[in-house]
Amino acid sequence: MKVRKTQRREFLSKIRGHFDHIHSTISRIEAREIIPLYPDKDIYVDYNYLLALENKGVETYIAQDTYEEFNIKDLLEGYA
């Protein structure tokens, strides 16, 4: 099934909701929502931080380690 770009965030939200429920049933687990920038280098960005930036109208995130710019909307919706 091909997912339209407009549906990506909706699907990701539902998946995150299921993970939140699962995590709430496991004692002493600390789950963080992160988005990989460079998975092979273990460089990630906090999902909620990106949401906060987006809500403030910021469109670009600059990676602290590499100074590379990323489109926040693309990061939050997943890459095509």
Query: Amino acid identity of 20?
Result: D
Q: Give the confidence band of 61 by pLDDT, cuts at 50, 70, 90.
A: very high
Asked if 32 and 48 touch (Cβ cutoff 8 Å), the reply is: no
Residue type, 24: S
State the pTM of this model: 0.71
Q: How confident is the model at residue 33 (pLDDT cuts 50, 70, 90)?
A: confident
Measure the CA–CA gap between 59 and 18, rounded to whole angstroms.
28
d(CA 5, CA 63): 24
Q: Is the pLDDT of residue 37 over 70?
A: yes
Task: Reduce the DSSP state of residue 3 to 3 states and report it.
Answer: coil
The Cα–Cα gap between 4 and 69 comes to 25
Q: 56 by DSSP, 3-state: which?
A: coil
